[in-house]
Amino acid sequence: MQPNLTMEKKGMRFLATIILSAFLGCAYMPGHSASVVGIEPVKPFDALGFDAEVENLQPEFRWKASGLERSTYDFAIWKANPNRDAEGKQSWGELVYYVEDLGTPHHVVDIKLLPDTVYCWSVRERRMKDKYLGVWSNRSLTGMPGRRTNTPFYFKTPRNVMMPDVGPVESC
């Protein structure tokens, strides 16, 4: 009998979800939820919270449009920080890229990110007409009773890439 690889992959993803949830300080169990707060990401995005893979060091990001006329978007990337601050809160990391007033719900990064590095990204809506500035979109994880964690959308850059100025680059 052939092993069911799809079920095997799902089992591995579920196990990895439990490990990730433990790392984030919340429990993921049936009946607990994860939802998107703010503008919904499209690409790169992993619904279970894993690091979405991107193909190059200047990836394209997409999100769902707000649906309101004359909305623009602010977009940011942080170099991910797995540590917590003194109060036990998850830090989004060091801001490495920021642009505001984008007129379309997508953006290609115009700097080269580091290879084999985990980053996180977020987007927020901006409306000049009523001076509205939305929240940075995030994943809201509800775990154990009374515990809630808001995390950005993680992605990882490729390990081996060609850098025109220096040749192949590998991370340590």
Number of structural domains the chain divides into: 1
Per-residue pLDDT of 110-133, as tens digits, reads 999 999 999 999 999 998 877 889
Nearest to 123 by CA among 52, 65, 82, 84: 65
Query: What does the pLDDT read at residue 1?
Result: 47
> How large a percentage of the chain has pLDDT more than 70?
60
Estimate to the nearest angstrom the gap between the alpha carbon of 51 and the chain centroid: 7
Better-scored residue on pLDDT, 91 or 19: 91
Give kind and range of the element (H or E) at residue 84.
none
Residue 165 domain boundaries:
5-169
Instruction: State the average pLDDT for the chain.
Output: 76
Mean predicted confidence (pLDDT) in 31-36: 64
Alpha-carbon distance 89 to 82, whole Å? Answer: 11
Entry pTM? 0.69
**Looking at the predicted structure, is the pLDDT value of residue 169 above 70?**
no
Nearest to 152 by CA among 77, 54, 66, 61: 77
Per-residue pLDDT of 133-155, as tens digits, reads 999 998 886 654 555 567 788 89
**Is 153:139 a contact under the CB 8 Å cutoff?**
yes
Whichever domain contains 14, its CATH number is 2.60.40.10
